Each structure stands twice: as C-alpha cells, then as structure tokens.
Homo-oligomer: A and B are copies of this chain.
Amino acid sequence: MKVNGKEYRTVWLEGSTVKLIDQHKLPHAFEVATCRTHRDTAEAIRTMLVRGAGAIGASAGYAMAQAVLEAPEAAFASFLEQAASLIRATRPTAHDLFYAVEGVLQAIRHAKDPAQARQQAVRRAEQLADENANAGEAIGRVGAALLRDGVRVMTHCNAGWLAFVDWGSALAPIYHAHRQGRALSVYVNETRPRSQGAKLTAWELAQEGVAHTVIADTAAGSLFRHGQVDCVIVGADRIAANGDVVNKIGTYTLAVLAKHHGVPFYVAAPRSTFDVTLDDGSKIPIEERSPEEVTWVSGLTAQGRMERVRITPEGSAAKNPAFDMTPAELVASFITEGGVLPPSRDAIRAFVSAKRLPADSIVHHPA
C-alpha cells in the first residue's frame, strides 16, 4: 500500500537483511528498521516492532531464511534448530508464525547441500510473503461484496496492511470497497493497552483517505445501542477447527455486543491463520504481556518528542492478557481468500484442505 505516494510492503528481504516498517514509531514517524540477522528479526517480532498475524508470519519466514543463510556448514542442522526455537518463542499466539517457520524448514528438507537449502529457504520465505499479500488482496475482494454504499464498519486493533505484508485482513475489504468508490466510514476502537487502533489503523485509513473516527474502547457499546454500527470486521491471530477465534483483547466484548444488537460480526483471515490441529479455541495459548503496557502509555508530546507516561499509582497491580477467545457461535462469517465461510467445522476443513484457492492465482508484486 502507499505511504506518502510510494508503494510499500510491511516487511521485505534485501539480500540477507530484513527491512520492516517500525511500528513503534507510527503514527508519529515513518521509519524502516533493518534486521541484519535472524536474531535481530526475532527480536523485532518479540518487541512488536513488527506485529499483526500476517506480518509476524512473513517476518518469521524471513528470519528463518536468514538463519539458513547464516548457518555454518559444520553445524547446519543444530543451528537451524536453535534458530527455529528462538523464532517460535517470540510470540505464542499467532498461528502464522509457526506456519511460516515450518514452511521454510519443510522447503529445505530435501535440499542436497547447504547452497541449495539457502536458495530454497529464501524462495520459500518470499513465497510465504507473497501468499500473505495475495490472500489479503483476495480477502479484500471477497469482503467488499459485503459492504454496501454508506456502510458504517467498526474494527478493532490493527488488521490492516501493517498487520500483513500488504492489504490486510479486516481492513482489506474496506480498502477494496473504497477504491471502487463506495462511501463508507469506519469506527476505529483505540484498542488499549497498546492502542494499535488509534495509532496504526487510524494512520493506515488516513493514508488511504478512508473516513474514520477513533473512539475509546468504552464507547463501542453506546454506538451499537444507537444503531450506528452496521457490521464489525476484525482480524484473527488463530482460528481453531471449530471456528473459535483468538484475536486481540477486546474482540470478544465486541462479539457479545454485536450479538446483543443483531449486528453481523465478521472475522477476516487467510488460510495461514486457521489451525485445524486444535479442536477448539480453548487450546490456543493466550499471551500474557507486561502489566506496564496497561500502566504506561506512549505518544508524542506537544513539543514533538516521543514520551512514555504512567497513568496508574505506583504499586497498583495490572493484568494484561494480549488476546481473548471468541466462540464460533458469535461469528457471522469468516472472510477468507477462498470466499465467505460459515463458522462450521465442515466449511473450515474444506477451505483449509482445498488444493488451490482463487488467491493462489493472483500475481502481486510490490512496486
């Protein structure tokens, strides 16, 4: 997508270096971070310099490819094993991360020598990134059909192109419909504690010229009650075989509100987010992050300086689960690159096991 008129992906590989848009500095500064080794890239995932299920996946794939490029021939396998463990340990919840690490490891499984493995690893990591970008574009096309002219969409956290390689999941249908000239507006939940809605989603939508209004998370219920929300679209970090969805903390509350008000609640996600090895959502690990994310807030001072401020009294405990689980019965539909699916085991199984999806045929390269 475009930033100040130039086309970008969220993360990309240049030689053996991973470049990624620094999501700590947005929306106040647009900077590209450089990760020279797989350890740097793993650290960027861990500290959320890059975040969002799809972007984490692509970054993890690139990190794994970097590890293959770095691995000494004398200890090739053990180096990769350690690297894979390091990358897997960065974030526990997003399925895309594990999908990408396995994807690269699978690709080099039958390599006849390290040179071939290096070639295959890079090719597979690039494929994973392309797949993600293509899935986003297809999700956009599929989801746009659900958005009539004048629709008021609520979204949570950031499931836009910054959370993917390109396009995004929840925001892709919005971008698609907007580019088709449909009038729409978006309520952007701030999404405390890290405020990815207020910081990243608002920034993305502003860059694309989509009308949007940021609200405190507390204001969502009131908008539903006053009939100001026509549908909710969120992304997902992992979806179990039965359709249970793990996504950013606060998603479940929106799903309950949507149910209470008869508003459709859509979850947009590519195939890589579905984890059919898990029977239901109760098995998905929920990352507990530092209480400091709740007790401190970062932003830009009036003087243009990045600053962190504490809001709670010293010594008050805080709890910070990063995700929550929304049961399948609260989901109206999944918006995927394979079409709009009902939240049923059969539909999910058929989608995940399909040999070829419409998105596979899309050719998409960043400028």
Contacts and interface: CB of A to CB of B under 8 A. Distances in A.
A159 to B, nearest CB: 15
A123 interface: no
A24 interface: no
A253 B257 contact: yes
Kindly report how many copies of this chain are found in the complex they form together: 2
A221 interface: yes
Interface string A251-263: 0110011011000
A225 B312 contact: no
Interface stretch (A44-52, A70-78, A212-220, A235-243): A212-220
Category for how many chain A residues contact B: 35 or more
Nearest to A201: B316
A225 B316 contact: no
A307 interface: yes
Contact of A307 (B202, B307, B320): B307
A319 B317 CA distance: 30
Interface string A183-216: 0000011111101001100110110000011111
A308 interface: yes
Nearest to A200: B313
A300 interface: yes
A301 B203 CA distance: 25
A325 B226 CA distance: 10
B308 A302 contact: yes
A317 B215 CA distance: 9
A249 interface: yes
Given A190-B294, A308-B302, A312-B214, A253 B195 contact: no
A324 B225 contact: yes
Given A249-B222, A252-B221, A216 B198 contact: no
Contact of A192 (B192, B249, B299): B192
A216 B28 CA distance: 23
A294 B212 CA distance: 14
Contacts of A324: 219, 221-222, 225
Interface of A: 27-28, 188-193, 195, 198-199, 202-203, 205-206, 212-222, 225, 248-250, 252-253, 256-257, 259-260, 294-302, 307-313, 315-321, 324-325
17 contacts: A27-B313, A190-B192, A190-B311, A199-B311, A202-B312, A206-B313, A206-B316, A214-B312, A215-B318, A217-B250, A219-B321, A219-B324, A222-B249, A225-B252, A299-B311, A300-B309, A301-B310
User: Which 6 pairs from chain A and chain B are nearest by CB?
Assistant: A218-B250, A299-B309, A221-B253, A27-B313, A222-B324, A192-B216
Given A191-B218, A253-B257, 17 more contacts: A28-B313, A198-B295, A198-B311, A202-B312, A206-B316, A214-B316, A215-B319, A216-B217, A217-B218, A219-B319, A221-B252, A222-B249, A225-B252, A225-B324, A253-B253, A301-B308, A301-B310
